[in-house]
Amino acid sequence: MNTNFEFLQFEEYVLLNPEICKLYLKDLECKHIADDSPKNKIWLELAKKVGYEWAIFGSHRKMQEEMRLNFEINRIIEMSRSQTIRPIRIVKTSNNKYFVDNTHWSLAMLMSKGKNVKLTEVPFYVVDFTHENPKLVDVKNSVIDNEKNKLNAINSAYDIEKRIRLGWRPQKYTYLLENLYNELNLDKYLK
């Protein structure tokens, strides 16, 4: 990956991408699915096509499915109640899709702030791959201002971009954060 990037503030970025202010967190693409049930067949096929072996949420943990999902849900519940809030990395891919790249924190935000929370109402930053060199967009000091952290954020986001370029999520396919939220039935854990 090219290590040249442009670092900008949200106020500059929004002039070129005003749509970001209208986005709801639940409506952003999600890289994970809940399970390998038949309704998720296409997502598993697309993930396999590009070599993405962790499409199923928490599948990197070697546990039985029920234990794994309980573990992941408990982490999300704890995060939703935490006083510490971590910014969500948003990845704008070269095909103009917005992905959440911190699934646990994104789901925790939906639980704590409600499903109709706008992206601009939660801490986030953007890595945008719609240009020759990526843009790293700082929103309210959400990016730690040193070169190593900036490059780490871009490299992490590039994993999504790389899969997009290999055909992972064609325009006609959309799996949103709200889909995962609903499949995990997170509403039942709300206070």
Question: Which pLDDT score is estimated for 63?
Answer: 64
Question: Which pLDDT score is estimated for 64?
Answer: 76
Question: Which pLDDT score is estimated for 136?
Answer: 97
Distance in angstroms (rounded) separating the CA atoms of residues 150 and 171: 28
38-63 pLDDT per residue, tens: 999 999 999 999 999 999 988 777 76
Distance in angstroms (rounded) separating the CA atoms of residues 86 and 105: 7
Distance in angstroms (rounded) separating the CA atoms of residues 91 and 114: 22
pTM over 0.85: yes
Distance in angstroms (rounded) separating the CA atoms of residues 184 and 57: 10
Beta carbons within 8 Å of 108's beta carbon, 6+ residues apart: 76, 77, 79, 80, 82
H or E stretch covering 88: strand 88-92
Tokens of 127: 């890595």
Question: Which pLDDT score is estimated for 82?
Answer: 94
Q: Using an 8 Å Cβ cutoff, are 184 and 33 in contact? A: no
Question: Which pLDDT score is estimated for 104?
Answer: 96
Q: Using an 8 Å Cβ cutoff, are 169 and 40 in contact? A: no
Q: Any idea where the domains of the chain sit in the sequence?
A: 6-189
Q: Which amino acid is at 189?
A: Y
- Which regions of the chain are under pLDDT 50? none
Burial of 160 from C-beta contacts in 10 A (0-12 / 13-18 / 19+):
buried
Question: Which pLDDT score is estimated for 145?
Answer: 79
Tokens of 153: 């954020």
Question: Which pLDDT score is estimated for 1?
Answer: 61
Question: Which pLDDT score is estimated for 68?
Answer: 80
Distance in angstroms (rounded) separating the CA atoms of residues 142 and 137: 9
Question: Which pLDDT score is estimated for 117?
Answer: 98
Q: How far is CA 185 from the centre of its chain?
A: 18
